[in-house]
Chains A and B, each alone.
Chain A
Amino acid sequence: MSNTPLLRLENVSTRFAIPQGILDAVRKKPKQYLTAVDQVTLDVESGDTLGLVGESGCGKSTLAKTVIGLYQPTSGRILFQGEDLAAMTRQQRRARSGDIQMVFQDPYSSLNPRMTVRQVLQEELRVHDMCPPEEMDRRIVELLEMVGLTEQQADRLPSAFSGGQRQRIGIARALALNPKIIIADEPVSALDVSIQAQVINLLIELQQKLGLTVLFISHDLQVVRYISNRVAVMYLGRTMELGETDPLFAHPLHPYTDILLKAAPRMTAEARQKKTAAIHGDLPSPIHLPTGCRFHPRCPYATDLCRQTEPELREVCPGRFCACHHPLEGGGV
């Protein structure tokens, strides 16, 4: 590991105030907060594909939107090539927006329904002065071909495209500014299985060809396993486990990772025999977090220590981090 990773998150937290009614405000009731991302620390090396995985409400999307600047972090630093993005003014931030780009989840709402593909790409290249006007058409064709679309499709509106094609347009748009990092927020979860594989393969191909660094967010463990070389498992705003993909999946250290792996429906013969659920109980409310370890109410191994003290994310073995007082020995699966 080099000393300055491409992207480093240091204790990043993002909190939202819960809207109060007038009556509550008059009665001076204390404001309630939802801590969507809680003290997350992550390094992303150049060329990495880091998978962020977790259930809904775990903060993975909020974290992505904080990194890209849609939300302002409440505390912590977001260091991109050593510069703190969170401390920048809007102008400075805007000038750097080309370096980190995002692919959104919903291919149906992420494209302006009234702009053709060409208009979308043209606007982007023009606003950022990325391309002289005489080069424009060539560059647009190049981008479209890169994602497997043709020049003939450039003048169509998004409504003429299928979900998979729209996601390709979203990727072309993200690539137009030659970004260093692509944040992909559930880019395939709205797509059908057969189309999903097309888009995943495209992302991998582009990542290798262009040397991109990818932050890949998904709730689908198998997809994350397939595409990432490192994985962070999040639960209620915190990183629970972080490490290289293969060892993490083969031998999860955190009970939550273990349960996630066991709960996902699989196509194996053993899965067919399973009669009881991997875990009982619901996700707690992110507004009223449990004391101690936030996973303890659902954890089969919880002890008094877990109920009282929140475990820190610590390096259990080289490159492998886990936030648990009692990590599973040799993994659970």
Chain B
Amino acid sequence: MKVKVTARGGVRRLSLWQRSPSLVMGLVIVAVAVFVAVFPQLLTSADPYASDQAAMLLGPSAQHWFGTDNYGRDLFSRVVYGTRIDLLIGLGCVAVPFVFGSLLGLIAGYYGGKVDAIIMRVLDVFMAFPFLIMVIAIVAILGPGTRNLLIAMWIVGWKEYTRLIRSEVLVAKQSEYVQSARTMGYSDLRIMLRHILPNVISSAIVYAASDIVMCMGTAASLSYLGIGVEPTTPEWGAIINGGKSFINSAWWITVIPGAVLAVVGWGFSMLGDGLSDLLRADTH
């Protein structure tokens, strides 16, 4: 729990809910999603891959909560098992660019000059291509599949982190606490990692939360386009793609996974929003 110390030394506790309601709601949604991803077997006994010719395109019912698809697979269990895949894709797509991009931004901002110029010109090249086109091109070269999808997202995802962190470092570098660290004779590495990074990383963390949503959306759209994960995998985008031919007769195949994707995405956005509230309030 955060404690707010008043000028007279009195201590006043604020609940997390008071400090940032959107953070709490985001946390709840994300926690539920993580729980589902870790323990899918607790929620459903049905096999997400098992097709049942007798139960094709059934609407939502007590037996099949989300209905069944055109192969008679239970949609609820497919959505539940898909949570793990989608969360892993979301986190996997973000983790590598977050670390790599932030470090590049830190180096570019701190050293400036030629180092900065080189990193930023390379970045400009990547910025010149539209995000989705580039992902599709890379996947087209490497071939479809979860691993290649991740690699494609890594290649295009780092630049935002670099730009964000670099601009924050440029500001932090001028601040007196960094100058004072330099007058103490600290090494560049120490100043960068211990004095600058903790003060600039919050914006990247906030961005990462919304980036996860974007990555999940991109992964789903690629699956929908048929170049993401293998079609049989219970991934939300793939499920939606599978249902598109039946949209008039069996709306639940597309609408329900779509709604789940939207809610989880909303959860991550609110988490990012709440984090930025909290981190901003933290130092003031």
Contact = CB atoms under 8 A, between A and B. Distances in A.
B180 A128 contact: no
Given A127-B190, A159-B283, A159-B284, A110 B180 contact: yes
A114 B284 CA distance: 11
Contact of B5 (A95, A110, A160): A160
B177 interface: yes
B194 A173 contact: no
A98 B183 CA distance: 8
Contacts of B181: 112
A5 interface: no
A70 B179 contact: yes
A189 interface: no
A138 interface: no
Interface stretch (A44-52, A99-107, A310-318): A99-107
B183 A70 contact: yes
Nearest to A68: B183
B185 interface: yes
Contacts of A96: 185
Interface in A91-125: 93-98, 100-102, 104-106, 109-115, 123-124
B7 A69 contact: no
A190 to B, nearest CB: 11
B195 A112 contact: yes
A170 B179 CA distance: 12
Given A114-B198, A159-B284, A97 B183 contact: yes
A127 B199 contact: no
Contacts of B187: 94
Contacts of B190: 127
A113 B199 contact: yes
Contacts of A65: 179
A191 to B, nearest CB: 15
Interface residues on B, range: 20 to 34
A102 B181 CA distance: 10
Contacts of B245: none
Contacts of B111: none
Contacts of B194: 123
Contacts of A94: 185, 187
Given A69-B183, A124-B184, A106 B198 contact: no
Nearest to A105: B176
B185 A110 contact: no
B176 A70 contact: no
What 7 A-B pairs have minimum CB-CB distances, sorted nearest first? Answer: A97-B185, A110-B176, A94-B185, A113-B283, A104-B176, A112-B177, A114-B198
21 contacts: A69-B182, A70-B183, A93-B185, A97-B183, A102-B180, A102-B183, A109-B175, A109-B176, A110-B176, A110-B177, A110-B179, A112-B177, A112-B181, A112-B195, A113-B177, A127-B185, A127-B190, A128-B184, A157-B283, A159-B282, A173-B180
Interface of B: 5, 7, 175-177, 179-187, 190, 194-195, 198-199, 282-284
Given A97-B183, A110-B175, 11 more contacts: A68-B183, A69-B183, A70-B179, A97-B185, A104-B176, A112-B177, A113-B177, A113-B199, A114-B199, A128-B184, A173-B184
